Amino acid sequence: MNVIDQYLSLAKQKRFAEGLPLIEEIVRRKPNMATSQFNYGICLAELGRHREAAQAFLRAYSLDPNDGGTLHRGCLALAADGDAPGLLAIFQQECARDPEMIQNFLKEERFAPFWELPDFKRLKNE
């Protein structure tokens, strides 16, 4: 069984702590593979390492900018980490690219507390 299959087997069993060294090895070998970065983000998020998970998800999104699900996961990880500045920067970037994105961000209830902050309110009103 190769390292990818080993990691996927552990992830399927929710054994993320055991799988972490494997997914780290996979990412080290091929850092520009969006799927590997995404899986790394999942593993880190499951371990409560939200800041690192956000970085992995956003790396995956930069490698595959058509994957909105990866962007969403990155934003959720930033929110779980309480990283308001990081989340605002992503929201601003994505809304500049596509003004309709604001609707997607507003629908997610886990982002609701951030919309009460002044900079987020300004973005919402723009």
What are the boundaries of each domain within the chain?
A: 1-67, 83-126
- Which letter does DSSP use for residue 108 in this model? -
Q: Give me the CATH code for the 1-67 domain, please.
A: 1.25.40.10
What pTM value is reported for the model?
0.93
Mean pLDDT of 12-20: 97
pLDDT (0 to 100) of residue 38: 97
pLDDT (0 to 100) of residue 126: 85
Alpha-carbon distance of 32 to 29, in angstroms, equals: 9
Model confidence at 39, in pLDDT bands (50, 70, 90)? very high
Give me the numbers of helices (H) and strands (E) for the chain, helices first please. 8, 0
Question: Distances from the Cα of 61 to the Cαs of 10, 21, 64, 108, 113, in angstroms?
Answer: 24, 22, 5, 19, 24
